[in-house]
Structure 1
């Protein structure tokens, strides 16, 4: 899983589904739609610079190229779908150059589960996706997308930079030099626009990749730590425990595919 997820940006007829317990994921973006249904608990979503809470029976629809992140408040159960824009051309046409004022609306995951499994019946998949789009249009007001300001693409620059360099030692000073920004300005931007400090952002990125490797590979934990940019296994264990609430070994046992 990448912060700029090209596999979710460039494929035609892309459809992805995952079910999660205590879902957390740091800021990322792609060219596809992302739809989240909460079944229990509460998920906080940061969408661009706004924050929303999604409760049981509610859903949230992220539009293409909107920077977004998720954080579980307490505990949560949720289902997430990602689908490329070519599935829903009529919806794209109705959106035009507009976005939702508030992207949270009422919708249950259960009726969609049978329709929207990747590899299933294409007619059912289309029906499910347009159910989502229709519910969003009925319940969410639209407004014109704002004109991008001079730093509209700074978040994507940061994400791209971290993606390319997270396996190495990273400092805010070096990032500021490489991106051509003032150190103080960039530090403030992290806190105001990404709602986390620099080191917290890097840690979330690294731990998300580590979790994917622990779940989807048989690599030794020491090698996972090294591949995700941690200098020592001790620091990896400490940060992983803080972000996931359990050790890497416990996470692997609980999430074996």
Structure 2
């Protein structure tokens, strides 16, 4: 399942995930993200700008850019996450610039390259790493031809980045705005203002999204009791967990597990 702040601990140079009707609040990460919509309509928000992606469209999200997913329609898409160090020739460009318009219709050549990437994902051959690297460099060479870039303010060391990084590490603990402010050497007012203006939701709601995302993964892949999962995710009571879970998924935890648990 897609991660929250996405401080990816797997230390993988690239990952691919197929998603369906994916909803996720504002978040950021150090990887470059490529979204390919295969059906339906996806709403992607990048740095306060909203984009509508339809079948065949591709979006690229540069490292440390705040973004979110939602849609009122059904959709399916593939997400690729590529570590910037893996794209060594483009690393300085990816951190210093971002596209003026990150959305475009995929060409035949681009679809073919991405199809080759997908085919390699199921291969255990050690040469996959080098083939992947060569293909991603070809893909980014095409991106550079398509996009007009603009200089951006550094997000890497911004207060928003520090706050979301801290939350990524501690969201399963009982944390407050005061705890976060202390950790990032700021104050509660500034933290609350960032959530209102930059993240676009309150801290409690953001924490609930992260905790429910973790809980969904546990429901899909473990046989832990619902109470155990609720407490591990950071909820104080199962009642609170059930309420937030229903609000976000329109399913009870039990119904979700029955639908998604892998036997």
Kindly provide the CA deviation profile for residues 33-72 of structure 1, in whole angstroms up to 9, marking residues without a partner as x.
Answer: 2111112222233334433332221111122233333223
Task: Please say if residues 14 and 80 of structure 2, whose CA atoms lie closer than 8 Å, have aligned partners that are also in contact.
Answer: yes
Give the match for residue 53 of structure 2.
54
Task: Please say if residues 63 and 94 of structure 2, whose CA atoms lie closer than 8 Å, have aligned partners that are also in contact.
Answer: no
Give the match for residue 40 of structure 2.
41
List aligned pairs for 1:1-257, cutoff 5 A: 1-7=3-9, 10-11=11-12, 14-92=13-91, 97-107=96-106, 111=112, 112-116=114-118, 117-120=120-123, 121-122=128-129, 125-126=132-133, 128-146=135-153, 153-257=158-262
Distance 1:229 1:48, change over 3 A: same
Distance 1:254 1:140, change over 3 A: farther
**SS of residue matched to 1:219:** coil
Task: Please say if residues 42 and 56 of structure 1, whose CA atoms lie closer than 8 Å, have aligned partners that are also in contact.
Answer: yes
Q: Report the Cα distance in structure 2 between the residues aligned to 1:199 and 1:7, rounded to whole angstroms.
A: 24
Deviation at 1:110, TM superposition (A): 5.9
Distance 1:212 1:131, change over 3 A: farther
Q: Report the Cα distance in structure 1 between the residues aligned to 2:53 and 2:258, rounded to whole angstroms.
A: 29
Deviation at 1:79, TM superposition (A): 0.7
Q: Which runs of 5+ in 1 are unaligned?
A: none
Aligned residues: 252
Q: Report the Cα distance in structure 2 between the residues aligned to 1:244 and 1:236, rounded to whole angstroms.
A: 12
TM-score (norm: length of structure 2): 0.81
Q: Report the Cα distance in structure 1 between the residues aligned to 2:245 and 2:218, rounded to whole angstroms.
A: 13
Task: Please say if residues 245 and 251 of structure 2, whose CA atoms lie closer than 8 Å, have aligned partners that are also in contact.
Answer: yes
Task: Please say if residues 49 and 194 of structure 1, whose CA atoms lie closer than 8 Å, have aligned partners that are also in contact.
Answer: no
Deviation at 1:26, TM superposition (A): 3.3
Deviation at 1:2, TM superposition (A): 5.0
Q: Report the Cα distance in structure 1 between the residues aligned to 2:121 and 2:5, rounded to whole angstroms.
A: 22
Task: Please say if residues 95 and 154 of structure 2, whose CA atoms lie closer than 8 Å, have aligned partners that are also in contact.
Answer: no
Distance 1:167 1:90, change over 3 A: closer
TM-score (norm: length of structure 1): 0.83
Q: Which runs of 5+ in 2 are unaligned?
A: none
Aligned structure 1 segments of 4 or more residues deviating by more than 6 angstroms: none
Task: Please say if residues 39 and 55 of structure 2, whose CA atoms lie closer than 8 Å, have aligned partners that are also in contact.
Answer: yes
